[in-house]
Amino acid sequence: MLKFYYAQKKMWQILINTVFIIQIVLFAIIFLVTLHWFLDLVDKQFLTFVNPISDYIAGLVKIFYRRMIEIGGVKIDGSILLFDIVALLVIWGGTQLKDFFDKQITKIDIIIDKVARDQEELFNKQLQEDYEKEQLKNSNIAILVSYSLSNVLGNAFWSEQSNDSMEAKEKEVDKQMYYALSKIPGCKVAKSGTQFLILNNNFEKIDYLLDYLKKLLAQMDEYVLKSQMTLTTYVAVEPYDNKADIKKVFTTLNKLLALKMPGEIVCLGSFQLRYEFIKDKKYTPVLKGTYSIDESDKVWTLVKKN
Rounded Cα gap, residues 113 and 120, in angstroms: 10
DSSP 108-120: HHHHHHHHHHHHH
pLDDT at res. 61: 64
Confidence band for 151, pLDDT divided at 50, 70 and 90: confident
Same domain, 245 and 162: yes
Same domain, 126 and 144: no
- Whether the CB-CB separation of 128 and 18 falls below 8 Å is answered with no
Cα distances (Å, whole numbers) of residue 118 to 6, 90, 105: 16, 41, 20
**pLDDT score of 224 more than 70:** yes
- Among 87, 110, 135, identify where a domain stops: 135
Same domain, 52 and 82: yes
Confidence band for 233, pLDDT divided at 50, 70 and 90: very high
Same domain, 31 and 162: no
Residue type, 126: Q
Same domain, 89 and 179: no
Same domain, 241 and 258: yes
Domain total in the chain = 2
Same domain, 102 and 185: no
- For residue 127, is it left (φ>0), alpha (ψ between -120 and 50) or beta? alpha
Same domain, 65 and 201: no
The residue range of the domain holding 125 is: 2-135
Residue range 116-129, pLDDT digits in tens:
888 888 888 888 77
| β partners of residue 289 | 299
- Whether the CB-CB separation of 221 and 231 falls below 8 Å is answered with yes
Q: What is the mean pLDDT of the chain?
A: 82
| β partners of residue 237 | 143
Q: Is 47 exposed, middle or buried (0-12, 13-18, 19+ CB in 10 A)?
A: middle
pLDDT at res. 63: 61
**pLDDT score of 251 more than 60:** yes
**pLDDT score of 10 more than 80:** yes
**pLDDT score of 76 more than 60:** no
pLDDT at res. 286: 93
- Among 102, 120, 135, identify where a domain stops: 135
pTM of this structure: 0.62
Same domain, 207 and 289: yes
Same domain, 63 and 202: no
Same domain, 10 and 148: no
- Whether the CB-CB separation of 293 and 252 falls below 8 Å is answered with yes
> Which is it for strands 265-268 and 229-240: parallel, antiparallel or unpaired?
parallel
- Among 102, 135, 168, identify where a domain stops: 135
Q: What is the CATH number of the domain that holds 218?
A: 3.30.70.1230
Residue range 180-199, pLDDT digits in tens:
998 888 899 999 888 999 99
Same domain, 21 and 71: yes
Confidence band for 26, pLDDT divided at 50, 70 and 90: confident
Give the percent of the chain with pLDDT over 90. 30
